[in-house]
Amino acid sequence: MANKSKIILGIDPGTLVMGYGLILVEGKKASLIEMDVLKLSRLKDHYERLQLIHTRVHELIQQHKPTCFAIEAPFFGKNVQSMLKLGRAQGVAIATAMQAGLAVTEYSPKKVKQSVTGNGNADKEQVWLMLQRILSITVRPDYFDATDALAVAVCHYYQETNPLAGLSKAKGWEQFLQKHPERISR
């Protein structure tokens, strides 16, 4: 990872607004490539919205050639119909990424916030302020959906570079020390 560069595409799925963010990782430094939203509310037909999600994700993959794809897991709400539609939107984005040969990683909203701010209950403004610092961004986007997607990409970057990220809590240190005996001081 230290010398390889990679591009991470992060998606915040939505049925009215889908956010996307791309970061370039070179060594241990991440920088912003692009963040924006796809506005879907102008379309009344849900299936047309799904087609537009597929088209835009495909275009982003063709244009930027990401090496990683990360997506935010749907937030569980009370409205079953809304959850169904959101799940479809997420599924279309995932299928598009998989069709392009990208591995997909999904993160809960709490995990994204915790990775970026250190607080899993951070609000959108706090996440945005940390992203500004991390990526040296000066331009504020019009929608938090864009910053949410960017946060998903940054979360993925942090999870990939964290040596303890994939370890279970029960065996975490045991496994870590087995894989990294040079870290044991005697």
Q: Could you tell me which residues are annotated as the binding site for Mg(2+)?
A: 12, 72, 145
Q: What do you get for the CA distance between the two ends of the chain, in Å? A: 29
45 is catalytic: no
| Token pair of 95 as six digits | 């299928």
List 12, 148, 174, 182, catalytic entry: 12
- For residues 119 and 126, is the Cβ–Cβ distance under 8 A? yes
Binding site listing: 12, 72, 145
User: Using an 8 Å Cβ cutoff, are 40 and 16 in contact?
Assistant: yes
The SS3 assignment for 31 reads strand
Residue in 118, 120, 117 with CA at minimum distance from that of residue 109: 120
What's the rounded Cα separation, in Å, for the pair 105 and 67?
A: 12
Active site residue 145: yes
DSSP states of 47-90: HHHHHHHHHHHHHHHHHH--SEEEEEPPPP-S-HHHHHHHHHHH
Rounded CA-CA distance 26/23 in Å is 10
Would residue 12 show up in a list of annotated catalytic residues for this protein? yes
List the one residue out of 122, 108, 96 whose CA is nearest residue 155: 108
Positions annotated as catalytic residues are: 12, 72, 145
